[in-house]
A and B are shown apart, each in its own frame.
Chain A
């Protein structure tokens, strides 16, 4: 069923055959149905085939060298399992950030929207910083996603509240983004202040976390985050047909029988949950949430029913690959993965976006 939603409608040509026998249907002009959806289908199939290969490839990289570790030695097994957990961390974080970006862009109808711009990441980061500095018990690692989510939601509410001032009813996208940027910089200033006054031990933890890294967290936190991310992704996937309707604006979506405000609020909550969980897992990793949705849209079109799962897959894989590069390139020193995402991913994605300008966001 999932596949049937991800792939473009088969019916278009399936019904060609059925048409002969069935009651007179609307006549279709074949010349228009052929090329485009087939190409898109092919592209999606290729993408789905390449993803596992890339993920497997990432397992071959690590500070201990390129290639599979020696499986006969106990160290080899440990290395491989470490690479597995980093793969899982990367998949979770990348998928959460990209899918969250897709939703923010769709809801705000703005190509600049992403978790950072709306202050969601900043708020989650502030919450996480506070709890990291406040203590370092085991409970902490479990409470981290929750604290991050709560503070991200609070931030979003503040942003929304500020943006709403002076506007009758719904705030405009511009005021949302503007107040998001303001609140976001306030959050990062507070983080800076706390870092500058932190104890040495706390400082180390916070700095590492802020730079963004896919160092595996505790199993408990991983499971909790996985649960949160999967359920939020599922929620977004359920919303995705309605997100398409919202692309024409809240008013038009309302006319078409979409419960627009409900969709907007639940979409914002799911996207916030995703971003906050990603931040609590691996810190502030930029670029993924903004660019991956654009690239996926350029490759596979703006239909959110496809875009949500494909972006999650693509964003996860992209982050996993970046992490493989980050931990291998200057081993044993690990480059922060956020550095690699922008440095390596930037030019690559720019080429894709330039070649498929039309399919990308033409406003």
Chain B
């Protein structure tokens, strides 16, 4: 049997004015166990919906065992393909056996009631997923794990050749997750059932899948064996965070994990950053610096400034001055003490006028006393001082060793580099 169970040929799909899948092509052979992975919102669920003909492709075609899925009668399609959604909800008090019987719906003719064969299939599915003890319980009363097993039983009762699971195991506890995966593996090995599992647990999927499909932003970017797809640099790029792939020395399974050392380091860096901000330009800086584990101080800020509000909310020490008044000498001396205690001084993309030019002078003082000062680039566009004093000042500082920064991620890596070099 080398017929493909599921074939996507250059499929684009989506919703009104929003293309979610962009030219996706792949094929899954009968009897394969495939995991579909990718970050949230990359189009995995849309792919499943398109495969099940719930969504019509904008272009391209989907075939189930060589037949275009859109031309299949619903009952035939259901006998080929079963979908276990993320969660099923039954608003009424259906019992478990009634729910599972729904899987036979397309086989029951318009006149008939379920035959004894249908009842046997329902029984078998319930035994397979270990829910037959729950048969008279109300579905709504079951735990999440039990509900998910009932949903699987319902789909098994369809007796499909392919089962697609849409993150169905994501919110199961570890015991039930193992159990459901065991059921899927048995189905796959014993009955040659083709399985497409949308999964967020890369490590778990690596252990059981024949093949991985990796999606990002609506496109299929890599297909292959777990070892081929689970590459640290590829995953780090797709998931936009630092990931690491290791091989378990005993089982040989691949393990994907977040880079733990960066997490741990974030506990406390022991470095203080003084932020010169204002007008809301500081908020994102404060947030990111705190997440990264820096001690943050800020000032001088106008008491009514939104950054002053943010600093108070984030419990950041700040030097404040009365609104609509020039920065007084008290505030200046307080701020320079703060800057003396800091390891770095960062200037946000705050506009400069005659009122807050003093902040820039404070930064220059810090630079002259040997501190690292980082200036947001392009000060010219934010300089409202007479005679472009701020621009001139910043040029002087840059030539004296201050550094320009463009984006916050860039700034973060600059800081990190700096204090790994100068611990």
> A201-259: which have CB < 8 Å to B?
238, 241-242, 244-245, 247-249, 251-259
Q: Are the CB atoms of A32 and B132 closer together than 8 Å? A: yes
Q: Does A171 contact B (CB under 8 A)?
A: no
Q: Does A169 contact B (CB under 8 A)?
A: yes
Q: Does A15 contact B (CB under 8 A)?
A: yes
Q: Which of B88, B114, B116 lies in contact with A15, CB distance below 8 A?
A: B116
Query: Given A238-B110, A244-B98, A248-B99, does the pair A256, B119 have CB atoms closer than 8 Å?
Result: no
Q: Are the CB atoms of A303 and B89 closer together than 8 Å? A: no
Q: Does B138 contact A (CB under 8 A)?
A: yes
Q: Does B105 contact A (CB under 8 A)?
A: yes
Chain-A contact segment, one of B22-30, B74-82, B189-197, B313-321: B74-82
Q: Are the CB atoms of A32 and B133 closer together than 8 Å? A: yes
Q: Are the CB atoms of A301 and B123 closer together than 8 Å? A: no
Give Cα A15 to B123, complex, Å. Answer: 12
Q: In this complex, what residue of B is CB-closest to A105? A: B92
CB neighbours (8 Å) of B250 from chain A are none
Q: Are the CB atoms of A255 and B119 closer together than 8 Å? A: no
Q: Are the CB atoms of A257 and B114 closer together than 8 Å? A: no
> B80-112: which have CB < 8 Å to A?
81-83, 85, 88-95, 98-99, 101-103, 105-106, 108, 110-111
Give Cα A348 to B119, complex, Å. Answer: 37
CB neighbours (8 Å) of B115 from chain A are 11
Query: Given A255-B82, A256-B78, does the pair A360, B52 have CB atoms closer than 8 Å?
Result: no
Q: Are the CB atoms of B91 and A241 closer together than 8 Å? A: no
Q: Are the CB atoms of B116 and A11 closer together than 8 Å? A: yes
Chain-B contact segment, one of A22-30, A85-93, A179-187: A22-30
Main DSSP-derived SS at the B contact region: mixed
Give Cα A245 to B132, complex, Å. Answer: 20
Query: Given A15-B116, A254-B52, A305-B113, does the pair A362, B105 have CB atoms closer than 8 Å?
Result: no
Q: Are the CB atoms of B113 and A257 closer together than 8 Å? A: no
Q: Which of A32, A245, A249, A303 lies in contact with B105, CB distance below 8 A?
A: A245
Q: Are the CB atoms of B92 and A255 closer together than 8 Å? A: no
Number of interface residues of A (CB under 8 A): 52
One digit per residue, 1 when the CB lies within 8 angstroms of any chain A CB and 0 when it does not, for chain B 117-141 equals 0011001100100001101101011
Query: Given A1-B111, A256-B106, A362-B93, does the pair A25, B136 have CB atoms closer than 8 Å?
Result: no
CB neighbours (8 Å) of B15 from chain A are 168-169
One digit per residue, 1 when the CB lies within 8 angstroms of any chain B CB and 0 when it does not, for chain A 294-321 equals 0001000111010000000000000000
Interface of A toward B, CB cutoff 8 Å: 1, 4-5, 9, 11-12, 14-15, 18, 25-29, 32-33, 35-37, 109-111, 168-169, 238, 241-242, 244-245, 247-249, 251-259, 297, 301-303, 305, 358-363
Enumerate 19 A-B pairs (CB-CB under 8 Å) in ascending A order.
A26-B120, A29-B133, A32-B133, A33-B135, A168-B16, A169-B15, A169-B16, A241-B108, A244-B101, A248-B89, A248-B90, A252-B88, A254-B53, A254-B54, A255-B85, A256-B102, A257-B75, A301-B94, A302-B94
Known: A245-B102, A359-B93; 9 extra A-B contacts, CB below 8 A, are: A168-B16, A247-B94, A252-B88, A255-B82, A256-B102, A258-B105, A301-B95, A361-B92, A362-B140
Nearest 10 interchain pairs by C-beta: A257-B78, A257-B106, A302-B92, A255-B83, A36-B136, A257-B75, A257-B74, A26-B123, A168-B16, A109-B91
